[in-house]
Amino acid sequence: MQTIGTCLWFDNQAEAAAASYTSIFKNSRILGVSRYPEGSPGPAGTVMTVQFELDGQTFTALNGGPQYSFTPAISFMVNCDTQAEVDRLWEQLGAGGTEVACGWMTDKFGVSWQIIPTALMQMITDPDKAASQRAFTAMLQMKKLDLARLEQAFKGR
């Protein structure tokens, strides 16, 4: 069991968000749903929390009301081995959301995601500072990250 978990505060979309996320990521599932009891802050019988797992990591989605909303100050970073994986996640998570920049997007629930080719992190931390800078500069010009273009920039082509 994880020692530290993530709780996502939704107005009233916790169940829809958990269902959406578990349909997108492999090795994912809904673990349980709790409902508001009588005399609680939420309407009795409505979904209070949804516990779910995304590729082995446990999350809780809470229907806490409209007091709080998500900001890009916290995002989920998803490392992708291939462009096909970047493309699939970008399309599925981005459906109904907003493309931002540099591999960032906000999904239809307001949650921010970074869809990042694993190779990008290797490029921008490479000891060759000129190559690293070229890859970084190329990334700044993109919304969805294009691994081939990043590699070309890194190699100076």
pLDDT of residue 157: 87
pLDDT tens digits, the chain, 157 residues: what are they? 678 999 999 999 999 999 999 999 999 999 999 999 999 989 999 999 999 999 999 999 999 999 999 999 999 999 999 999 999 999 999 999 999 999 999 999 999 999 999 999 999 999 999 999 999 999 999 999 999 999 999 999 8
Instruction: Name the residue ranges covered by the structural domains of the chain.
Output: 6-63, 75-155
State both tokens at 64. 């806490």
Cβ-Cβ contacts under 8 Å for 87 (sequence gap 6 or more): 144
CATH number of 6-63: 3.30.720.100
Identify the CATH class of 75-155: alpha beta
Nearest to 114 by CA among 150, 61, 73, 84: 73
State both tokens at 84. 């096909």
Same fold, 6-63 and 75-155: no
CA–CA gap between residue 104 and residue 106 (Å, rounded)? 7
